[in-house]
Protein backbone atom coordinates (compact mmCIF):
# COMPACT_ATOMS: atom_id res chain seq x y z
CA UNK A 1 0.00 0.00 0.00
CA UNK A 2 1.45 3.34 -1.06
CA UNK A 3 1.87 6.19 1.41
CA UNK A 4 2.06 9.95 0.99
CA UNK A 5 5.73 9.80 2.02
CA UNK A 6 6.55 8.00 -1.24
CA UNK A 7 5.28 10.94 -3.29
CA UNK A 8 7.68 13.30 -1.53
CA UNK A 9 10.56 10.83 -1.93
CA UNK A 10 9.87 10.54 -5.64
CA UNK A 11 9.90 14.33 -5.96
CA UNK A 12 13.37 14.35 -4.38
CA UNK A 13 14.49 11.73 -6.90
CA UNK A 14 13.29 13.93 -9.74
CA UNK A 15 15.14 16.98 -8.39
CA UNK A 16 18.35 15.03 -7.77
CA UNK A 17 18.81 12.94 -10.90
CA UNK A 18 15.69 11.88 -12.88
CA UNK A 19 15.10 15.30 -14.47
CA UNK A 20 18.74 15.63 -15.56
CA UNK A 21 18.63 12.10 -16.97
CA UNK A 22 15.42 12.86 -18.89
CA UNK A 23 16.87 16.04 -20.42
CA UNK A 24 20.09 14.21 -21.38
CA UNK A 25 18.16 11.46 -23.18
CA UNK A 26 15.96 13.95 -24.96
CA UNK A 27 18.87 16.08 -26.12
CA UNK A 28 18.78 19.65 -27.38
CA UNK A 29 17.68 20.40 -30.91
CA UNK A 30 19.72 22.95 -32.81
CA UNK A 31 17.69 25.32 -34.94
CA UNK A 32 18.65 26.05 -38.53
CA UNK A 33 17.70 29.75 -38.60
CA UNK A 34 17.72 29.98 -42.40
CA UNK A 35 15.32 27.05 -42.67
CA UNK A 36 13.25 28.47 -39.80
CA UNK A 37 12.84 31.87 -41.52
CA UNK A 38 11.86 30.19 -44.79
CA UNK A 39 9.29 28.02 -43.02
CA UNK A 40 7.93 31.00 -41.08
CA UNK A 41 7.52 33.04 -44.29
CA UNK A 42 5.69 30.11 -45.86
CA UNK A 43 3.38 29.86 -42.86
CA UNK A 44 2.53 33.56 -43.08
CA UNK A 45 1.71 33.23 -46.77
CA UNK A 46 -0.49 30.21 -46.06
CA UNK A 47 -2.25 32.02 -43.20
CA UNK A 48 -3.03 35.02 -45.42
CA UNK A 49 -4.19 32.73 -48.22
CA UNK A 50 -6.55 30.88 -45.87
CA UNK A 51 -7.82 33.98 -44.06
CA UNK A 52 -10.32 35.49 -46.49
CA UNK A 53 -12.09 32.28 -47.59
CA UNK A 54 -12.26 31.15 -43.96
CA UNK A 55 -13.75 34.49 -42.88
CA UNK A 56 -16.23 34.30 -45.77
CA UNK A 57 -17.36 30.88 -44.54
CA UNK A 58 -17.52 32.01 -40.89
CA UNK A 59 -19.49 35.17 -41.64
CA UNK A 60 -21.94 33.25 -43.84
CA UNK A 61 -23.13 31.40 -40.76
CA UNK A 62 -24.11 34.62 -38.95
CA UNK A 63 -27.38 36.38 -39.68
CA UNK A 64 -26.79 40.12 -39.53
CA UNK A 65 -29.28 42.10 -37.45
CA UNK A 66 -30.94 45.04 -39.14
CA UNK A 67 -32.73 46.88 -36.34
CA UNK A 68 -33.29 50.51 -35.43
CA UNK A 69 -30.36 52.89 -35.24
CA UNK A 70 -27.51 53.74 -37.51
CA UNK A 71 -26.57 50.79 -39.80
CA UNK A 72 -23.01 49.49 -39.92
CA UNK A 73 -20.79 51.19 -42.45
CA UNK A 74 -18.89 47.93 -42.96
CA UNK A 75 -20.04 44.43 -43.80
CA UNK A 76 -19.56 41.68 -41.23
CA UNK A 77 -16.69 40.21 -43.26
CA UNK A 78 -14.97 43.60 -43.32
CA UNK A 79 -15.42 44.02 -39.58
CA UNK A 80 -13.95 40.61 -38.79
CA UNK A 81 -10.97 41.16 -41.09
CA UNK A 82 -10.39 44.64 -39.70
CA UNK A 83 -10.37 43.38 -36.12
CA UNK A 84 -7.95 40.55 -36.92
CA UNK A 85 -5.62 42.85 -38.85
CA UNK A 86 -5.62 45.40 -36.05
CA UNK A 87 -4.51 42.68 -33.62
CA UNK A 88 -1.89 41.42 -36.09
CA UNK A 89 -0.32 44.84 -36.70
CA UNK A 90 -0.46 45.74 -33.00
CA UNK A 91 -1.15 49.38 -33.75
CA UNK A 92 -3.31 51.63 -31.59
CA UNK A 93 -6.88 52.27 -32.75
CA UNK A 94 -5.96 55.81 -33.81
CA UNK A 95 -2.94 54.63 -35.81
CA UNK A 96 -4.97 51.83 -37.41
CA UNK A 97 -7.65 54.34 -38.43
CA UNK A 98 -4.96 56.58 -39.92
CA UNK A 99 -3.48 53.64 -41.83
CA UNK A 100 -6.92 52.78 -43.21
CA UNK A 101 -7.30 56.34 -44.43
CA UNK A 102 -4.25 55.76 -46.61
CA UNK A 103 -5.29 52.25 -47.63
CA UNK A 104 -8.80 53.49 -48.48
CA UNK A 105 -7.46 54.49 -51.88
CA UNK A 106 -7.26 50.75 -52.56
CA UNK A 107 -9.91 49.27 -50.26
CA UNK A 108 -12.68 51.90 -49.92
CA UNK A 109 -12.59 51.33 -46.14
CA UNK A 110 -12.27 54.49 -44.04
CA UNK A 111 -13.40 54.40 -40.39
CA UNK A 112 -12.66 56.16 -37.11
CA UNK A 113 -10.65 54.72 -34.21
CA UNK A 114 -13.86 54.46 -32.17
CA UNK A 115 -15.33 52.14 -34.80
CA UNK A 116 -12.30 49.87 -34.50
CA UNK A 117 -12.56 49.74 -30.71
CA UNK A 118 -16.26 48.86 -30.85
CA UNK A 119 -15.44 45.80 -32.97
CA UNK A 120 -14.07 44.16 -29.82
CA UNK A 121 -17.58 44.07 -28.33
CA UNK A 122 -19.60 43.51 -31.52
CA UNK A 123 -21.94 40.51 -31.05
CA UNK A 124 -21.97 39.58 -34.73
CA UNK A 125 -18.17 39.80 -34.98
CA UNK A 126 -17.89 37.60 -31.88
CA UNK A 127 -20.11 34.91 -33.44
CA UNK A 128 -18.14 35.03 -36.68
CA UNK A 129 -14.85 34.66 -34.80
CA UNK A 130 -16.23 31.62 -32.97
CA UNK A 131 -17.22 30.10 -36.33
CA UNK A 132 -13.80 30.94 -37.75
CA UNK A 133 -12.07 29.22 -34.83
CA UNK A 134 -14.04 25.98 -35.37
CA UNK A 135 -13.44 26.10 -39.14
CA UNK A 136 -9.65 26.38 -38.64
CA UNK A 137 -9.60 23.43 -36.21
CA UNK A 138 -11.57 21.31 -38.68
CA UNK A 139 -9.19 22.21 -41.51
CA UNK A 140 -6.29 20.96 -39.41
CA UNK A 141 -8.18 17.80 -38.51
CA UNK A 142 -8.07 18.30 -34.74
CA UNK A 143 -10.08 15.55 -33.03
CA UNK A 144 -9.88 13.95 -29.54
CA UNK A 145 -6.60 15.75 -28.87
CA UNK A 146 -3.90 15.29 -26.24
CA UNK A 147 -3.61 18.76 -24.75
CA UNK A 148 -1.44 20.91 -22.56
CA UNK A 149 -2.73 23.83 -20.51
CA UNK A 150 -0.98 26.86 -19.09
CA UNK A 151 -1.68 30.45 -18.17
CA UNK A 152 0.16 33.74 -18.44
CA UNK A 153 -0.47 37.44 -17.98
CA UNK A 154 -0.67 40.40 -20.32
CA UNK A 155 0.17 43.91 -19.18
CA UNK A 156 -2.60 46.50 -19.23
CA UNK A 157 -0.13 49.21 -18.24
CA UNK A 158 3.10 50.17 -19.96
CA UNK A 159 4.63 50.82 -16.53
CA UNK A 160 4.54 47.18 -15.43
CA UNK A 161 5.83 44.12 -17.25
CA UNK A 162 4.13 40.81 -16.42
CA UNK A 163 7.26 38.64 -16.70
CA UNK A 164 9.19 40.87 -14.29
CA UNK A 165 6.36 40.99 -11.77
CA UNK A 166 5.75 37.23 -12.02
CA UNK A 167 9.43 36.54 -11.37
CA UNK A 168 9.26 38.57 -8.15
CA UNK A 169 5.93 37.24 -6.91
CA UNK A 170 6.20 33.59 -8.09
CA UNK A 171 2.85 31.78 -7.63
CA UNK A 172 1.37 34.87 -5.93
CA UNK A 173 1.46 36.53 -9.35
CA UNK A 174 -1.28 34.17 -10.52
CA UNK A 175 -3.88 35.86 -8.30
CA UNK A 176 -4.54 39.53 -7.61
CA UNK A 177 -4.80 40.80 -4.09
CA UNK A 178 -7.95 42.71 -3.19
CA UNK A 179 -6.13 46.04 -3.21
CA UNK A 180 -4.16 45.40 -6.40
CA UNK A 181 -4.63 47.76 -9.31
CA UNK A 182 -5.78 46.48 -12.70
CA UNK A 183 -2.30 46.12 -14.17
CA UNK A 184 -2.53 42.64 -15.71
CA UNK A 185 -5.05 40.32 -17.31
CA UNK A 186 -4.69 36.56 -16.92
CA UNK A 187 -5.11 34.26 -19.90
CA UNK A 188 -5.35 30.46 -19.92
CA UNK A 189 -5.26 28.31 -23.05
CA UNK A 190 -5.39 24.60 -23.89
CA UNK A 191 -3.17 23.63 -26.84
CA UNK A 192 -3.18 20.42 -28.89
CA UNK A 193 0.32 18.95 -28.51
CA UNK A 194 0.19 17.41 -32.00
CA UNK A 195 -1.10 20.24 -34.18
CA UNK A 196 0.14 23.04 -31.83
CA UNK A 197 -3.29 24.69 -32.16
CA UNK A 198 -5.22 26.37 -29.37
CA UNK A 199 -8.53 24.69 -28.60
CA UNK A 200 -10.01 27.03 -26.00
CA UNK A 201 -9.00 30.15 -24.11
CA UNK A 202 -10.27 32.19 -21.19
CA UNK A 203 -9.33 35.49 -19.56
CA UNK A 204 -9.80 37.05 -16.15
CA UNK A 205 -8.87 40.27 -14.41
CA UNK A 206 -8.92 38.44 -11.07
CA UNK A 207 -6.85 35.24 -11.26
CA UNK A 208 -5.44 32.55 -13.51
CA UNK A 209 -7.79 30.09 -11.83
CA UNK A 210 -10.81 32.05 -13.06
CA UNK A 211 -9.33 32.16 -16.57
CA UNK A 212 -8.89 28.36 -16.36
CA UNK A 213 -12.54 27.86 -15.41
CA UNK A 214 -13.71 30.01 -18.33
CA UNK A 215 -11.50 28.10 -20.77
CA UNK A 216 -12.74 24.80 -19.37
CA UNK A 217 -16.38 25.89 -19.85
CA UNK A 218 -15.69 26.52 -23.52
CA UNK A 219 -14.67 22.91 -24.01
CA UNK A 220 -18.31 22.01 -23.40
CA UNK A 221 -19.54 24.81 -25.67
CA UNK A 222 -17.40 23.50 -28.55
CA UNK A 223 -18.17 19.86 -27.61
CA UNK A 224 -14.47 18.95 -27.65
CA UNK A 225 -13.52 15.58 -26.13
CA UNK A 226 -9.97 15.38 -24.78
CA UNK A 227 -7.73 12.31 -24.79
CA UNK A 228 -5.33 13.55 -22.07
CA UNK A 229 -4.36 16.79 -20.27
CA UNK A 230 -1.10 18.25 -18.87
CA UNK A 231 -1.12 21.09 -16.30
CA UNK A 232 1.59 22.83 -14.28
CA UNK A 233 2.11 22.63 -10.52
CA UNK A 234 -0.31 25.46 -9.79
CA UNK A 235 -3.11 23.01 -10.70
CA UNK A 236 -1.73 20.13 -8.62
CA UNK A 237 -4.91 19.61 -6.58
CA UNK A 238 -7.59 16.90 -6.76
CA UNK A 239 -10.30 19.42 -7.76
CA UNK A 240 -8.50 20.29 -11.02
CA UNK A 241 -8.03 16.65 -11.98
CA UNK A 242 -11.68 15.89 -11.17
CA UNK A 243 -12.76 18.78 -13.44
CA UNK A 244 -11.77 16.62 -16.45
CA UNK A 245 -13.87 13.61 -15.36
CA UNK A 246 -12.28 10.36 -16.66
CA UNK A 247 -9.68 12.07 -18.88
CA UNK A 248 -6.09 11.33 -17.71
CA UNK A 249 -4.41 14.43 -16.25
CA UNK A 250 -0.64 14.72 -15.76
CA UNK A 251 0.64 17.09 -13.06
CA UNK A 252 3.75 17.24 -10.89
CA UNK A 253 2.56 17.19 -7.25
CA UNK A 254 3.68 19.87 -4.82
CA UNK A 255 6.30 19.05 -2.19
CA UNK A 256 3.69 18.71 0.56
CA UNK A 257 1.33 16.55 -1.55
CA UNK A 258 -0.57 13.68 0.06
CA UNK A 259 -2.85 10.88 -1.13
CA UNK A 260 -5.87 12.65 0.36
CA UNK A 261 -8.42 13.35 -2.34
CA UNK A 262 -10.53 11.65 -4.97
CA UNK A 263 -9.83 8.19 -6.40
CA UNK A 264 -8.65 9.85 -9.60
CA UNK A 265 -6.06 11.82 -7.62
CA UNK A 266 -4.93 8.65 -5.82
CA UNK A 267 -4.57 6.71 -9.09
CA UNK A 268 -2.62 9.59 -10.65
CA UNK A 269 -0.20 9.78 -7.71
CA UNK A 270 0.29 6.00 -7.79
CA UNK A 271 1.12 6.22 -11.50
CA UNK A 272 3.50 9.11 -10.77
CA UNK A 273 5.41 7.07 -8.16
CA UNK A 274 5.39 3.65 -9.89
CA UNK A 275 5.92 4.74 -13.51
CA UNK A 276 7.84 7.97 -13.05
CA UNK A 277 9.83 7.98 -16.30
CA UNK A 278 6.82 7.28 -18.54
CA UNK A 279 4.78 9.77 -16.52
CA UNK A 280 7.40 12.51 -17.03
CA UNK A 281 7.52 11.81 -20.77
CA UNK A 282 3.82 12.59 -20.92
CA UNK A 283 3.97 15.54 -18.52
CA UNK A 284 6.81 17.35 -20.27
CA UNK A 285 4.80 17.61 -23.46
CA UNK A 286 3.49 20.62 -21.54
CA UNK A 287 6.42 22.53 -23.05
CA UNK A 288 4.12 23.06 -26.05
CA UNK A 289 2.15 25.55 -23.95
CA UNK A 290 5.23 27.49 -22.92
CA UNK A 291 6.48 27.51 -26.52
CA UNK A 292 3.09 28.77 -27.72
CA UNK A 293 3.03 31.63 -25.22
CA UNK A 294 6.59 32.59 -26.15
CA UNK A 295 5.79 32.74 -29.88
CA UNK A 296 2.58 34.70 -29.34
CA UNK A 297 4.18 37.36 -27.16
CA UNK A 298 7.07 37.83 -29.58
CA UNK A 299 4.61 38.22 -32.46
CA UNK A 300 1.84 40.24 -30.82
CA UNK A 301 3.51 41.85 -27.79
CA UNK A 302 3.25 41.55 -24.02
CA UNK A 303 0.31 43.89 -23.59
CA UNK A 304 -3.38 44.33 -24.39
CA UNK A 305 -4.65 47.84 -25.05
CA UNK A 306 -8.33 47.17 -24.28
CA UNK A 307 -9.75 47.84 -20.80
CA UNK A 308 -13.27 46.38 -20.72
CA UNK A 309 -13.35 42.64 -19.82
CA UNK A 310 -15.28 41.63 -22.93
CA UNK A 311 -12.94 43.54 -25.23
CA UNK A 312 -9.89 42.12 -23.46
CA UNK A 313 -11.26 38.63 -24.05
CA UNK A 314 -11.84 39.41 -27.74
CA UNK A 315 -8.28 40.70 -28.17
CA UNK A 316 -6.87 37.54 -26.57
CA UNK A 317 -9.11 35.37 -28.76
CA UNK A 318 -7.87 37.15 -31.90
CA UNK A 319 -4.32 36.25 -30.87
CA UNK A 320 -5.36 32.59 -30.58
CA UNK A 321 -6.94 32.70 -34.06
CA UNK A 322 -3.78 34.15 -35.62
CA UNK A 323 -1.70 31.52 -33.81
CA UNK A 324 -3.89 28.79 -35.32
CA UNK A 325 -3.87 30.35 -38.79
CA UNK A 326 -0.07 30.31 -38.75
CA UNK A 327 -0.14 26.64 -37.76
CA UNK A 328 -2.16 25.79 -40.87
CA UNK A 329 1.00 26.25 -42.92
CA UNK A 330 3.15 24.20 -40.54
CA UNK A 331 4.18 20.66 -41.30
Q: What is the pLDDT of residues 95-116, one digit of tens each?
A: 666 666 545 544 666 778 888 8
Please provide the distance, in angstroms rounded to a whole number, between the alpha carbons at the two ends of the chain: 46
Q: What is the pLDDT of residues 257-302, one digit of tens each?
A: 899 999 999 999 999 999 988 999 999 999 999 999 998 998 888 8
Domain span at residue 312 reads 4-328
The stretches in the chain having pLDDT less than 70 are 1, 16-34, 36, 66-71, 91-109, 157-174, 176-182, 331
- pLDDT of 314 reads 96
Overall number of domains in the chain = 1
Sheet holding 249-250, edge to edge: 198-204, 184-192, 146-155, 228-230, 249-250
pTM of the model: 0.84
Q: How far is CA 97 from CA 141, 228, 272, 305, 315, in A?
A: 37, 44, 54, 15, 17
Amino acid sequence: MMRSKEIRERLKDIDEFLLAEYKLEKGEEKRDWRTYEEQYLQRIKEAVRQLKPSVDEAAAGVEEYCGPGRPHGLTLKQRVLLLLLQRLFGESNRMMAAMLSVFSMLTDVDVSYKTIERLYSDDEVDLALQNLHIIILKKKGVENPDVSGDGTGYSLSIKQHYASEAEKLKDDAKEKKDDAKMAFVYSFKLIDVKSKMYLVSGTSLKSEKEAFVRAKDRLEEYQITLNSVRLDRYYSYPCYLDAFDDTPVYVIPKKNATLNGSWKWKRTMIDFVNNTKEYLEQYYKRENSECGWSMDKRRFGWGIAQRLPRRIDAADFCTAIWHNLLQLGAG
